[in-house]
Amino acid sequence: MTEEILAHPWFGTWLAAFVGVPLALLIHRVGGLVLMRVTRPTPALHAMVVNCKAMARLVLPLVALLLVFQAAPDNLRFIGSVRHFNGLLLIGATTWLLVKAINGFADGVLAQHPHDIEDNLHARRVLTQTRVLARTAITMVLVAGGAMMLMTFPGARQVGASLLASAGVIGIVAGLAAKPVFSNLIAGLQIALAQPIRMDDVLVVEGEWGRVEEITGTFVVVRIWDDRRLILPLSYFIEKPFQNWTRKSSQLLGAVFVYVDYGMPVAPLRAEVERIVKGAPEWDGRFFNLQVTDATERTMQIRVLCTAGNSSLAFDLRCKVREGLIDFMQREYPQFLPKMRIEGDAMQPASAAPSLAQDAAPPR
């Protein structure tokens, strides 16, 4: 029995495999400890090593088996199928290892720049770049891995060659069909590098006010103020105009307009605005003022400017100032609230005689 096993054509190959796989696992164990220690001062690389550790335990034995099967004699039965199957497993495992490496590196970079702080402009910039570039890289790795697995099949290579040979009209049709995909891919790279939008940016787009909730490889999710979601392709933010309220800073200047009668003195309003703004926790202490900005035939327009740290605080501050001014006028100066006057004398015709005008005038 022992002699039959020793004389079996596969004995040497399997023996080499039984030696190579434990050796690969030993290399994984020792190499992992070394890399964990070496990359500890660099959080991004350390997170990448930690994320790849489990998948590398599968890739290294597959590499060892690939070397063993390639060194085996070509006349072994089923050696071609075994090599092919091992190659497919190795390509798939390596592709997934690269995906894990990209995700781990991205998580390490984001851990160094937390975006749940008040002044998070730089962190949101890093968050947007990291996520968009990571997803683009993962897409390219998956496409490359799938293409390499298909190319291991002779039939797929022949189909690819025949398609390339007759790629005239097919290439044009495929190019037109894939135009949105490639335009979104290029738009994603432009957004990651130029950053017209970032995660958690405040936008006014398609007439809606909201925040950037998610940026994927093909579209952007904007969470509108009433919790609706607006889904837009990446190319939209490259080709069409929109408002970004947090492009350079989240601080905003809010405006409040109030219409009052001409008899309303401005000084008490200015003092009341100062009291309201300085007592509001939403005010960031930068600036406020009150001015008469317009005058119509019936009222004058009062404009109040005040600053806040972000758009939500600015909205609340504007509402507070508007409510405070209305309450102040209702309490102190109700006679100067906007009203429409109809004077009896103004209705008399200018060319009428005094007696006729007196007769035509309505009784008081």
C-alpha to C-alpha distance for 145 and 139, rounded to whole angstroms? 10
Q: Are strands 300-308 and 283-295 parallel, antiparallel or unpaired?
A: antiparallel
- Is pTM beyond 0.75? Reply is no
Does residue 185 register a pLDDT over 80? no
In this predicted structure, the answer to whether residue 315 has a pLDDT above a threshold of 80 is yes
Domain boundaries, the chain: 7-112, 252-336
Select from 217, 206, 207 the least CA-distant residue to 137.
Answer: 217
Q: pLDDT tens digit string along 194-211?
A: 788 888 888 999 989 899
pLDDT value of position 130:
81
pLDDT surpasses 80 at 262: yes
pLDDT tens per residue, range 55-111? 888 888 888 888 888 877 777 777 788 888 888 888 899 999 999 999 988 888 888
Contact (Cβ atoms closer than 8 angstroms) between residue 215 and residue 190: no
Pair of tokens at residue 326:
């209305």
Average pLDDT over residues 295-318: 90
Per DSSP, the residues of 1-32 read: -HHHHHHSTTHHHHHHHHHHHHHHHHHHHHHH
Indicate the pLDDT class of residue 358, thresholds 50, 70 and 90.
very low
Q: Give pLDDT tens digits for 7-48.
A: 666 667 778 888 888 888 888 888 888 888 888 888 888 888
Give the list of residues 6+ apart from residue 78 with CB closer than 8 angstroms, or none.
Answer: none
**Tokens representing 238?**
């490259």
* 3-class SS of residue 224: strand
100: nearest Cα among 126, 134, 131: 134
326 band by pLDDT with thresholds 50, 70 and 90: very high
Domain 252-336 has CATH 3.30.70.100: yes
| Distance between CA atoms of residues 332 and 268, nearest Å | 10
Average pLDDT over residues 298-324: 91
191 vs 27, higher pLDDT: 27
Place 288 in a pLDDT band, splitting at 50, 70 and 90.
very high
Confidence of residue 357 (pLDDT cuts 50, 70, 90): very low
Across all residues in the chain, what is the average pLDDT?
79
Task: Round to whole Å and give the CA distance between 246 and 234.
Answer: 19
C-alpha to C-alpha distance for 173 and 176, rounded to whole angstroms: 5
CA 341/CA 137 separation, integer angstroms: 70
* Dihedral, 210, 212, 217, 219 alpha carbons, nearest 10: 0
**What single letter denotes the amino acid at residue 216?**
T
